[in-house]
Structure 1
Amino acid sequence: MILYERLTFRVPQGINRSIRKQAIHADSFDRSYNGAIFFIHSFGSIKRTTVSERGIFVFKFIFLVRWGLPSFLFFISFFGPLLGIILGFDAINGERTRGTLSLILSQPVYRDVIINGKFLASIATVAIMIASIMVMIAGISIAKLGAVPNGQEVARAFLFFIACILYIAFWTSLAILFSIVFEKSSTSALTSIAIWIFLAFFVYMIAGVIADEVYPITRQSTPELLAKHESLRTMLLRFSPAVLLEEISAAILNPTVRVFGPMFETQLQGLILTPLSLGQSMLVVWPQFVALVAASIICFAVSYLAFMRKEIRST
């Protein structure tokens, strides 16, 4: 908890107390989750580095490549929403059920202090957890590789870290929203999980069905029709935050990625496949970054407004 103390000592007193309370609530889960993910992925990272080659992009190889075990990106995209939901599904209705929310509000504490503290504490927990896992895994893998990343690769890893935080922040704010809307914690948890399952799995089937209906594919289909089909499918898939994170990670950690979606041979002619700079890679995925930031902000803004207007009675 020393890290939480250092993070919050300059925050206003009301928010400081709320952050500490939420941090204590998440601390035990943080340790077990952190240890499990580190053990699983560090084992896979060590295994992958024994078959590595020189001249590769270090963090791409560490966080994106799969060799026997799922990649670190897979763990974040799959377990990150569950982490965000666990941290937020009972943030408000759990306090209301225990009768502590009305007790807190009876003190000279503003409502926005509570909701802000809940959200900031959850994000701080996620940030410390992911940062510690990434640093430990990268340290073991770099030592095994014997290759030191340059400044631009470190900057790319930091942007990947920010994208992971934004991704989990969306699910945390969504879970907090449902904890405000629903009276029972079980209802908010099940609703959050249902949306996660839909956006993580069913969106792929729905996108494919819609694309097949709009642009039917046959053996006689032209390349232009195939491109339209794939473009529509890709656009629909981007309603899933997991797809946005995957595209951001692929472009940021792999400088050779230039575009997402279909390309014609005429577009590839004369193209020099040199690695892109960090700024050029950001230009490739800036719409995905903006969409992920907007989704997190909008979801938290709705949660904020809902909580400020929520009628809270003492029980």
Structure 2
Amino acid sequence: MNIQQLKKSVPDFWNSFRKNGDEEKGVSCSGGLAALYRKELADHLNSKRFFIIFMLLLVVTTASLGGALSNIREAVEESSDFIFLKLFTTSGSAIYSFATFMAFLGPLAGITLGFDAVSNERSQGTLNRLAAQPIYRDSIINAKFLAGSTVIFLTVFMLGFYISGMGLMLIGIPPSGEEVLRIFAFLLFTWVYISFWLALSIIFSVVCKHAATAALASMSIWLFLSLFMSLVASAVANSLFPTSGIAGFANISSNYSATLALNRISPYYLFSEAATTILNPNVRSIGMVTMSQLSGAIAGPLPFSQSLLLVWPHLVLMIALVIAGFAIAYIAFMKQEIRA
């Protein structure tokens, strides 16, 4: 090999080595997470299940918007401030408001997206093939949660923009800057709230062998926390601090505090309380208010920053619940043995 051939071959060898090294580095850094994320996201968006749940939420949103528009005149007569926010909080004569519907039906979207995330792969025999690929094992569970959370984010904000756009066209009153901030904060709370139910359903999908079992377990917890938790909280508080009889008057404050603390175990109650505070600036407190605290207080709506301070613990707690739920699913999945 002469000098000219040696000079020509060295750059080619170096470029080939650098290309292979970059590809190996890219695979090791991402661990296949980006590819799995795109695959899971495409599966969700192209599935009939997502289409059905999205259409259900769209129909419910349209019905709640119609109910709000039918009673918007009565709501404006009570208070002419923050008219645009009333599109999200005003209920019709036979229909709930959008915020109420999202509190109750929102978890259904999260459960639908996650109840068979792992169990379906296991039952079809594709989980072992997926784990045999040159990817990190935790990329599988990470991609499934991130893709489901992305779909929830897109769905929530699309519905929020749909109500805002239709309301702007029909009532002709643009929202103020503070109303835009409150709507955005409400949609963000909704996304975190539904993501908790996604994480919970993924836990059962990892633990349970069958998707039907995971779905039933997730829906049972959803119905209990949404419908029956308030009854249980009241019963426990009344047994600990009875309000009947002569000594009952002294237990009113303790009874209320115990009921409130037990209710706040439920993400449904946390979200409902936070949504009411964010979307209604006239809410000045979320706990018991004594007469001494009311003395000298000036009635009026709170600014957005003060409302956000009231519900900041709710947001932190809901984010903590999402992280804890995903951490449980992550640990359970990583400890499982995947067999062919």
1:20 corresponds, among 38, 49, 57, to 38
User: Match of 1:198?
Assistant: 224
Partner Cα distance (2:149, 2:183) in 1: 19
1:213 corresponds, among 220, 232, 239, to 239
Partner Cα distance (1:296, 1:72) in 2: 23
Letter in structure 2 aligned against 1:57: F
Partner Cα distance (1:65, 1:264) in 2: 28
Partner Cα distance (1:18, 1:108) in 2: 12
1:145 corresponds, among 166, 171, 176, to 171
1:62 corresponds, among 84, 87, 96, to 87
Matched ranges for 1:36-47 at <5 A: 36-47=56-67
User: Match of 1:118?
Assistant: 144
Check whether the contact 1:227–1:263 (CA below 8 A) recurs between aligned residues: no
User: Match of 2:310?
Assistant: 284
User: Match of 2:13?
Assistant: none
2:192 corresponds, among 160, 166, 184, to 166
Cα drift, residue 187 of structure 1: 1.5
Output one character per residue of 1:57-85: Cα deviation in whole Å (capped at 9) or x when no partner.
Answer: 23531112212211112221111111111
Cα drift, residue 304 of structure 1: 1.1
Q: Does 1:185 align with 2:211?
A: yes
Letter in structure 2 aligned against 1:194: S
User: Match of 1:49?
Assistant: 69
Partner Cα distance (1:260, 1:225) in 2: 20
Partner Cα distance (1:138, 1:290) in 2: 27
Paired positions, count = 304
Check whether the contact 1:34–1:133 (CA below 8 A) recurs between aligned residues: no
Q: Are the structure 2 counterparts of residues 298 and 99 from structure 1 closer, same or farther at C-alpha, using a change threshold of 3 Å?
A: same
Partner Cα distance (1:40, 1:299) in 2: 28
Q: What percentage of aligned pairs have identical amino acids?
A: 35
Check whether the contact 2:281–2:307 (CA below 8 A) recurs between aligned residues: yes
Partner Cα distance (1:62, 1:288) in 2: 23
Partner Cα distance (2:247, 2:162) in 1: 50
Partner Cα distance (1:44, 1:303) in 2: 35
SS, match of residue 285 in structure 2? coil
User: Match of 1:307?
Assistant: 333
Q: Are the structure 2 counterparts of residues 145 and 13 from structure 1 closer, same or farther at C-alpha, using a change threshold of 3 Å?
A: farther
Partner Cα distance (1:99, 1:256) in 2: 55
Partner Cα distance (2:287, 2:248) in 1: 16
Tell me which structure has the larger Cα radius of gyration. Answer: 2
Between 13-22 and 202-211, report the one with greater CA deviation: 13-22
Partner Cα distance (2:99, 2:299) in 1: 25
**Alignment gaps of 5+ in structure 1:** 1-10
Q: CA RMSD in A?
A: 1.9
Output one character per residue of 1:182-221: Cα deviation in whole Å (capped at 9) or x when no partner.
Answer: 1111211111111112211221111011110111112646
Q: Normalising by the residue count of structure 2, what TM-score does the alignment of the two structures yield?
A: 0.84
